Amino acid sequence: MKFEGKNQEYFELIDITPQNCRLLKASRKNELSLIWFASDGNRLIIDSIEHTFNTNDILCLTEFHQIETVTIKELKLLRFNKPFYCILDHDSEVGCKGILYFGSSTTPIIQPAIEELEILETTWKMLVFEMKSADNLQLEMLQMMLKRILILCTRIYKRQQNYTKIDPGNNDLVRSFNYLVETNFKEKHTVADYAALLHKSPKTLSNLFKKMGNTTPLKFIQARIMLEAHRLLKYTDKSISDIGYEIGFNDVQTFSRFFKKNQGVSPVDFRNSA
């Protein structure tokens, strides 16, 4: 099912099976996706790392994720573009910037509890119904249903990532840090860089991440740099030195040492292992 508006708005719902799984790789510019797995044992390689997804796992992806299908059984795909709904311009409405999209150095996998799943299923049914209602209110209704799904998924993922362990006022600080890393990781590699942008001390950021218990600010930054290095090494023909320079290293030796420290192998060996 597909909606296309008068101002290039684009929104679609697709039931994915082994027969049409190629559509998972058809993401276009300024497009975001949400995948809801409807069976166990789905296997995808995302940015060179293989994952197994089971029933009711939910995955959020941007146009920049590199996807390869290994085993596809059954899943539901929701996809929309920026003209349909821009999560950056409407962050105050859904609050998913820096959590579901544009702010995770790992693949955000959402795993709803039973009561959360019931709400999501009801909202999804309403969304499917609105896809069939071709009237002058359809765009607004589809946007409303999408916002509800994004809000629900954001709440679930924040619970999973221990955002509840920090003061509500600091939730936005962590999200802002995550988003700043996403948009500046090629030039800024230290916690102090981001603390300055946020007008906070590096210790303040470190204490917040310590309370959440998932990682440290520095490891988060380094993981985002490594993610980009993986993408460039696996999915482009750029030289090792060009890749290092692109993500902020002044020479290939420094980049190679950084990569080997975090990956355990050199950039050359990582590329050749594909």
- CA gap 100, 102 in Å, rounded: 7
What pLDDT does residue 135 have? 84
What pLDDT does residue 233 have? 94
Burial class (CB in 10 A: 0-12, 13-18, 19+), 10: middle
**Residue 112, C-beta contacts closer than 8 angstroms, at least 6 positions apart:** 56, 58, 120, 152, 156
pTM: 0.91
- CA gap 195, 221 in Å, rounded: 12
Q: What letters, b where the CB count within 10 A reaches 16 and e where it falls short, cover 69-106?
A: eeebbebbbbbbbbebbebeeeeeebbbbbbbbbbbbe
- CA gap 185, 223 in Å, rounded: 10
What pLDDT does residue 234 have? 93
Q: Going residue by residue through the chain (274 aa), what tens digit of pLDDT does each one get?
A: 899 989 999 999 999 999 999 998 877 888 999 999 999 999 999 998 899 999 999 999 999 898 999 999 999 999 999 999 999 999 999 999 999 999 877 788 999 999 999 999 999 999 999 998 888 899 999 999 999 999 999 999 999 999 989 988 899 999 999 999 999 999 999 999 999 999 999 999 999 999 998 889 999 999 999 999 999 999 999 999 999 999 999 999 999 999 999 999 999 999 988 6
pLDDT digits (tens, 9 = 90+) for 241-269: 999 999 999 999 999 999 999 999 999 99
Q: Strands across the sheet with 67-71, in order? A: 49-53, 42-46, 67-71
Please report the domains of the chain, with CATH numbers, ordered by start residue.
2-160 (2.60.120.280), 165-272 (1.10.10.60)
What pLDDT does residue 274 have? 64
DSSP β-bridge partners for residue 45? 50, 68
What pLDDT does residue 186 have? 95
Q: Which residue has the tokens 């500046």?
A: 184
Give the angle 262-263-268 at the CA atoms, nearest 5°: 125
What pLDDT does residue 273 have? 84
